[in-house]
Structure 1
Amino acid sequence: MHLLIYLPLLFPAPAALAARPLAERLAPWPATWLLTTCALALAALSCVALGVLVVAGLVRLPLAALVGDWSLATVRAGDSVSKIEAAVAGALLVAAVLAGVRMLWRRMRAVAAAAFEAACLPGPGQLVVVDDTVPDAYALPGLPGLPGRVVVSTGLLDALNDADRKAMLAHERAHLACHHYTFVAAAHLAAACNPLLRPAAAAVAYTVERWADERAATTCGDRRQVARAVGKAALATTHHPARRRVPEAVLGLLGRHRSALHGAGPVPRRVAALLAEPHAYSPPLNYPILPLAAASAVVGASALCAFAAAHDLHVVLKLAGAG
């Protein structure tokens, strides 16, 4: 058990290293689903592993043996987890749970704030134009019964022509139609519980933008037009870097999460992907069998190790109770 229980804590590291290559090489929608699902699973399994370590340390205490009516000598002989390891695992587990709860609370407040702002915006339609010289466009997710809204500033509309505006609106509507903010929130929850998964959260923030780009390209029928719209919007924001504060649940044409802006920059990569030949996103890549198999193997191995460690602890306690 002693070695197996630590493996679920380490598996997120190689998964995080593979996040960006997967985000670049897979079509956006399967990449988003794959990265988000794996991040959540690996974060949950790492918390389970920490929990097993904590329990393995607690059962070595005399009070626990008295309450559980088992042989303390048998437990200590079969359980190799020290009290120090259990204490460190307990501290990490508490930190992970608190970080996850904090992240959930912040996201729930952000979604509620976005829905409230969407409901309070003037006009009955989905599109809302605000009089603001700062170029900006973003989608406000709504709640059940409250549709989301697309907010565009006059500053951005002035910077784009009619074709660019069509591409920009298609991008923002794709965010709402595909509920991209839920994927980003889930990935950030996983990263909050296990900081090793932060690259995966950054990759998801990128892939949802790429997903919206591809949906916009399908709507407009011109990938290059969407690339031009993204490039023009980015150029316009360089002259007006200040943006007003918006809820964390908001997604925009240029992305709204700092983690998505780390590294080589997502906008040039998105433009390059849009300018690439369409065959790069042909059906064979839309069904990533090899990456899916690799991800399933990593998550399955992590689950197997956590289960095996928990089973070993159960056997030790059973023997201790019998003795």
Structure 2
Amino acid sequence: MTLFLVIVALAVLLPWAAAPAARRLAGLLPPREASLTLAGAAVLLAGGTVAALAGLFHVPFLAVLEQLRFAQVAADWPAVVPVSGAAGVLLAAQAVRLALAARRHRVLLSRAWELTGEGKADGDVLVVPGEEAEAFALPRYRGRAGRVVVTEGMLGVLGPTERAVLLAHERAHLGGRHHVLSAVTDFAAAVHPALAQLGPTLEFHLERWADEAAAAAVGDRKAAATAIAHAALAGSVGTGGRGGGFLSVSTGPVPQRVRALLEPVPAGPRGRGPRAAASGLVAAVLVSVLLALGLAYGLHEYVEYAARRIVGH
């Protein structure tokens, strides 16, 4: 049982080391690859933790499947009951946190659609009356296709090219299904607290992804940078408006985003630093997965050994 506890401890503690490695690697990658790396790492690390806890929780049930009486197993292996119980409590807590996160996302989406109900549709754009300057990507909901939501106030402060940049930016969020990547990372953070630090980093890289798409759409990186800065300054950031919580042109550290657009198109990572960061992250994720697989195999062997020992009595 000691070996299994060590495996579970490693699976639970590993995300604390892997999350910073993922953030460092993301900073060395182009926006699209960085976003996919962060979301993928979050899912795999959270999955490894759940698998490890689920394996420990199922020890008594595996013993029953081996036709052992639970009382016998508990008598010969007294650690089974408290360890399995602790794993069950942690799994229950994770389930509650996941349910709350899912509910929060549903409420946010429902509220946003309700608040934009008075808008007028123009293709995939929903123009909402109001003097406040807001623009955000509203994902699909209950059969309604996703929309780029923009207020009359935002359209009024932007010129024609700036409007084109704004719409291209929000369309990139919808087309790339960025809300899915954001949601799965949020759910992973509900499973393991260490993964919460990936959320803000992912949000930044998703905005950079949309920024680059907008710059490519208008064919002018400087114009795109100017438009994003203008829209961000005009936007009602942090006021709890219609799009609070959704990906918007005003989201994230805007100065860094603008500065990145004034530089050449980002290329792939080069040099020893990126390779070292990538190797560290891949190693951490692989270790997490292998620990979960090793635990599953080890649990089976453990129950077999327990069966032989108890029957031998």
Specify the alignment match of 2:37 in structure 1.
Answer: 34
Instruction: Map residues 262-277 of structure 1 onto 2, 5 A cutoff.
Output: 266-277=253-264
Distance 2:174 2:18 in 1: 28
Does residue 20 (structure 1) correspond to residue 23 (structure 2)? The answer is: yes
Structure 1 stretch displaced more, 216-225 or 149-158: 149-158
Matched residue type, 2:282: S
| Correspondences of 1:65-76 after superposition (within 5 Å) | 68-69=67-68
Alpha-carbon contact 1:139-1:151 (below 8 Å) kept: yes
Aligned equivalents of 2:11, 2:75: Cα separation in 1: 23
Q: How has the CA–CA distance of structure 1 residues 73 and 145 changed in structure 2, closer, same or farther, with 3 Å as cutoff?
A: closer
Instruction: Tell me by how many angstroms 1:317 deviates.
Output: 1.0
Is 1:115–1:142's contact at 8 Å kept on the other side of the alignment? no
Distance 1:103 1:12 in 2: 20
Letter in 2 for 1:130: V
> 2-side partners of 1:66 and 1:309: how far apart?
18
Q: C-alpha distance in 1, partners of 2:153/2:192? A: 40
2:163 corresponds to which of 162, 165, 168? 165
In the alignment, is the contact (CA less than 8 A) between 1:118 and 1:148 conserved in 2? Answer: no
Give the letter for the 1:39 counterpart. A
Amino acid at match of 1:141: P
Alpha-carbon distance in 1 for matches of 2:93, 2:69 = 31
Deviation at 1:186, TM superposition (A): 0.8
Find out whether 1:312 has 2:298 as its counterpart.
yes
Q: Is the 8 A contact 1:118 1:142 kept in 2?
A: no
- Structure 2 gaps of 5+ residues are none
How many Å apart are 1:36 and its aligned residue?
A: 0.6
Post-superposition offset of 1:208: 1.0
1:142 is matched with: 140
The answer on 1:252 being equivalent to 2:255 is no
Q: Deviations over 1:91-127 (max 9, x none)?
A: 2211111111222233345445656777874234222
Q: CA deviation at 1:72?
A: 6.6
| Identical positions, percent | 33
Give 1:258's aligned residue.
none
Gaps in structure 1 of 5+ consecutive residues: 256-260
**In 2 relative to 1, CA 136–71 (structure 1 residues): closer, same or farther, beyond 3 Å?**
closer
1:282 maps to 2:285: no
Instruction: Give the C-alpha shift of residue 165 in structure 1.
Output: 1.6
State how 1:51-70 maps to structure 2 within 5 Å.
51-56=54-59, 58=60, 68-69=67-68
Label 1:124 to 1:154 Cα distance change in 2 as closer, same or farther (>3 A). closer
Deviates most, 92-101 or 122-131: 122-131
Size of the alignment, in residue pairs? Answer: 303
Q: CA deviation at 1:229?
A: 1.7
| 8 Å contact from structure 2 (residues 116, 242) kept in 1 | no
Contact 1:8–1:305, Cα closer than 8 Å, also in 2: yes
Which stretch of structure 1 is more off in the superposition, 206-215 or 154-163?
154-163
Describe the shift of the 1:20–1:66 C-alpha distance in structure 2 as closer, same or farther (beyond 3 A).
closer
Compared with structure 1, are the counterparts of its residues 292 and 111 closer, same or farther at alpha carbon in structure 2 (3 Å cutoff)? farther
8 Å CA contact retained: 1:72, 1:320: no
1:72–1:297 Cα change, 3 Å: farther
Give how far 1:247 is off: 7.0
The 1:224–1:66 alpha-carbon spacing in structure 2 relative to 1, beyond 3 Å, is: closer
